[in-house]
Chains A and B, each alone.
Chain A
């Protein structure tokens, strides 16, 4: 093993040694965050390694698998394909934001009830795509659901129960809205 001549102190940060960091202000899960990061830092690494939000997973780093899906200003995006600096001044929501005040979101509840997950690795991204879909389409058809999650690969479930879970979550949200939005 050949060792480097310069001394480097191990740190888990993503700041660059060259002093060319960028400062970003971003709202993550409702919290204002200010951070100095290397400009090339991917959003998924920023979330996982700087903020410690490890619920967002990395499954491919080429935008195919969707395990890293988060909401950027309400829109589902793959956080392996967004630079953290692009989120400056914007709002990011991750899986950690779904449960509010100890209550799971309808999507989370439905994924459990319909057995919409097995190994759990694709689940956070899948639920974020589902959350984005249901925010704009209250009662999606099966074809609309399958289309909305086509960018989220799952190797365990064969999608049957994921589709059921999203349908069920939509129904839960509708009936909650029918009772004045208070579930």
Chain B
């Protein structure tokens, strides 16, 4: 009988249960709205009913007479303090409160401070504002037409055009496309959607007027960056600012920006000397917090006659709302949209994006994706299906014929990215086998003969996550490293702190697993903390699937640094030279005499009680990890849909997701991330869209019309893995939180379009409502008559 391979309790690859759950299942989580400080006041906000209007008067007298109301803040008050506007992450500016003009419906107009939540709401309703409506622009194409009303009259450029960005080889792409025997092109619109984390945004701000200490409990995914922003914008000394991001009820990108409410609570606390709580309600969250997507894309793809891809050309108009408050790395106004060549070896590619202002709230944040990667993946995976259809090649066969082969890694894409590792065919073949692709195609052929509508859709996505290498990636100049600080106490127990911030991903568990593996200390003995800028090392936070690629790597590097020192202490204890000691099977062992060994716990005790002269006491390390490259998770998804011909109802019968995120730290948590990600891919494919009417009125401003999937609509997901480690990450991990949100929508739409092939359908924009399908079916019937 062979012995089990050595392992450490709670190490990498084990589905250990989550440390954070003990408090959550008891209702003992500590979310921002649970924070209650002595003397705390409440802030509520009066918002604009108009999408574009001049403010001619704000009268606060009635509000100030509401029992419990203490103060009202307007744009004029902020202007006096130089705080009416604040910078965005993208070198634009946004209003905290308007001084004269509102630019989107539900924009903040005044803030009311009161001694209770209800009094603040009463006060906000009692603020009287006179508006003079202005012409509204909600269509970005119309916004760029000559003579369109200029939204941002504060800028010197008197147009709604924000910027133009392009990358790639324009003339080479044009030539290759022209000479390609097969060409397809398509307009695709990826609508505005909202992350709608179950917890809305909010804060408790407290300026202690005696000590000058400013503490803010805040729903933020990036507490350290927020601290620096507060220091720079408000001019507060950074050592006096403490940002605490307690338990966060989901983030998905929506808790990266600084919203006016946070600043208003801070101002109110500074003015009153009391702690001030601001918690937005759901309709405020849905109507005014930053949005994702809103990309109008035109894509063209060329291929050889035998079906090999050649060139890709993409022109996009991005609707940013009234300001460019996107949450991208500074050098990437269109995010990482140029991952759009996907899993395919295009020889040439050219991508351009123009951005426009409209009378909408800010757009351009992520929705569980790394900076426009979803837009890119959706485009290329739809285009691959359109091309395969034109070539009359099965979409699976087409992809297998075109994939970048495993031996081509590291692979340099036409748009300048170096993919770290991949085995795209391996993932697709696994998905095809699990779902019985050949059998499904036979079933489909049979059903088509009977006039039934069944479709099979594939998406073979490549992501780019883990921002990022310091030469390219910064936010407001701050490099996008992340950090881990690891201390081993005398009794061999560990506390580790990180610059990231979990919003449900399970960092307290998975970081402990990385450290358990690297230190030989059980995960149960390792405490992980994040989200307090007073204690955690500086980092850029959690979004864009960057925590494992950056802070996870920092954990491994810090642990290895500890091992270097520990090895010297172990040698001292073992009475041999450090060169004669090796770290093997979770202990320091004398080379050739593995039974002569010291555990990390024994070494830790000695580090405080019995270390050799010349070695500092203690056992700790910190690492600020600057990743050498991005990581490139990938996968292949296959979706099967049945469509009811009478109603247009779409039923996702099966969905198999094969993911490859490199080394898997906790299989249970990885599957959970994929389940959630798939549901947030399913949602925009079939349900979610924020629309505006011609007057800029939002449609979708509550959960009545913005449709989050419930347990009833959500398919039963099937998941599987392949493992292709990242060659440059210390433990080979790539990040997994967003893969499924990125990969799922094209698989679903490809399946729907496939089902509707008998009707000559090439493309349907998301979300694909039954009504859109019904119109296609009905229109075809009408024509047949």
Contacts and interface: CB of A to CB of B under 8 A. Distances in A.
Interface of A: 1-6, 8-14, 16-18, 38, 40-41, 45, 48-49, 52-62, 64-65, 67, 94-96, 98-99, 104, 108, 111-113, 115, 117-124, 127, 142, 145-147, 149-163
7 contacts: A4-B70, A10-B40, A104-B26, A108-B26, A119-B198, A153-B198, A156-B504
Contact of B29 (A9, A58, A120): A120
Interface stretch (B30-38, B326-334, B468-476): B30-38
Nearest to A104: B25
Given A56-B27, A157-B675, A119 B68 contact: no
Contacts of A4: 64-65, 69-71
Interface string B610-641: 00000000000000000000000000000000
B250 to A, nearest CB: 5
A8 B21 contact: no
B599 interface: no
B271 interface: yes
B503 A160 contact: no
Given A156-B504, A158-B714, A95 B115 contact: no
Contact of B26 (A58, A59, A99, A152): A99
Contacts of B125: none
A150 to B, nearest CB: 5
Contact of B708 (A142, A146, A153): A153
Given A60-B282, A121-B31, A158-B676, A115 B18 contact: yes
Given A1-B77, A121-B198, A159-B679, A62 B117 contact: no
A65 B282 contact: yes
A17 B68 contact: yes
B765 to A, nearest CB: 24
Interface string B703-714: 110001011101
Nearest to B279: A58
B301 interface: no
A68 to B, nearest CB: 11
Given A112-B18, A120-B25, 18 more contacts: A1-B71, A5-B64, A8-B70, A8-B115, A54-B33, A56-B27, A57-B33, A61-B281, A62-B702, A96-B26, A115-B18, A118-B250, A121-B199, A155-B195, A155-B708, A157-B679, A159-B714, A163-B711
A155 B684 CA distance: 13
Given A10-B39, A118-B506, A146 B31 contact: no
A9 B115 contact: yes
A111 B17 CA distance: 10
Nearest to B37: A12
A59 B199 contact: yes
Contacts of A54: 27, 31, 33-34
Given A94-B27, A119-B249, A64 B703 contact: yes
Contact of A59 (B73, B247, B282, B704): B282
A98 B22 CA distance: 13
Nearest to A151: B710
B668 interface: yes
Contacts of A157: 672, 675-676, 679
Contact of B198 (A2, A56, A145, A155): A155
A99 to B, nearest CB: 6
Contacts of A38: 118
B153 interface: no
Contact of B274 (A10, A16, A113): A10
B33 A55 contact: no
B680 interface: yes
A156 B40 contact: no
A115 B198 CA distance: 18
Contacts of B70: 3-4, 8
A45 to B, nearest CB: 7
A158 B717 CA distance: 8
A8 B67 CA distance: 8
B245 interface: no
Contacts of B248: 119
A51 B680 CA distance: 35
Contacts of A145: 711
Contacts of A52: 36
B283 interface: yes
B499 to A, nearest CB: 20
B25 A123 contact: yes
Nearest to B23: A120
A62 to B, nearest CB: 6
Contact of A112 (B17, B116, B675, B680): B17
Nearest to B286: A60
A1 B73 contact: yes
Interface in B539-586: none
Contacts of B41: 10
Contacts of A13: 116
Contacts of A120: 20-21, 23-25, 29, 247, 249, 504
Nearest to A118: B504
A26 B409 CA distance: 67
Contacts of A124: 27
Contact of A65 (B267, B506, B703): B703
Contacts of B74: 2
Contacts of B73: 1
A95 to B, nearest CB: 4
Nearest to B200: A59
A155 B285 CA distance: 15
Q: Which 5 A-B pairs have the closest CB atoms?
A: A55-B27, A119-B504, A121-B249, A120-B24, A158-B675
Residue among A16, A123, A159 having the largest count of chain B Cβ atoms under 10 Å:
A159
Interface string B254-294: 00000000000001100100100001011100000000000
B669 interface: yes
A115 B506 CA distance: 10
Contacts of A2: 60, 64, 71-72, 74, 77
B225 interface: no
B199 A119 contact: yes
Nearest to B64: A4
A10 B115 contact: yes
A3 to B, nearest CB: 5
Contact of A3 (B64, B117, B199, B714): B64
A146 B717 CA distance: 14
Interface in B634-687: 668-669, 671-672, 675-680
A150 B707 CA distance: 12
B72 A1 contact: yes
Contacts of B199: 57, 59, 119, 121
Interface in B75-97: 77
Nearest to A9: B115
B251 to A, nearest CB: 8
Contact of A154 (B64, B198, B503): B198
B71 A155 contact: no
A145 B505 CA distance: 25
Given A1-B271, A99-B26, A157-B676, A12 B36 contact: yes
A127 B29 CA distance: 15
Residue among A10, A11, A53, A153 having the largest count of chain B Cβ atoms under 10 Å:
A10
A99 B64 CA distance: 45
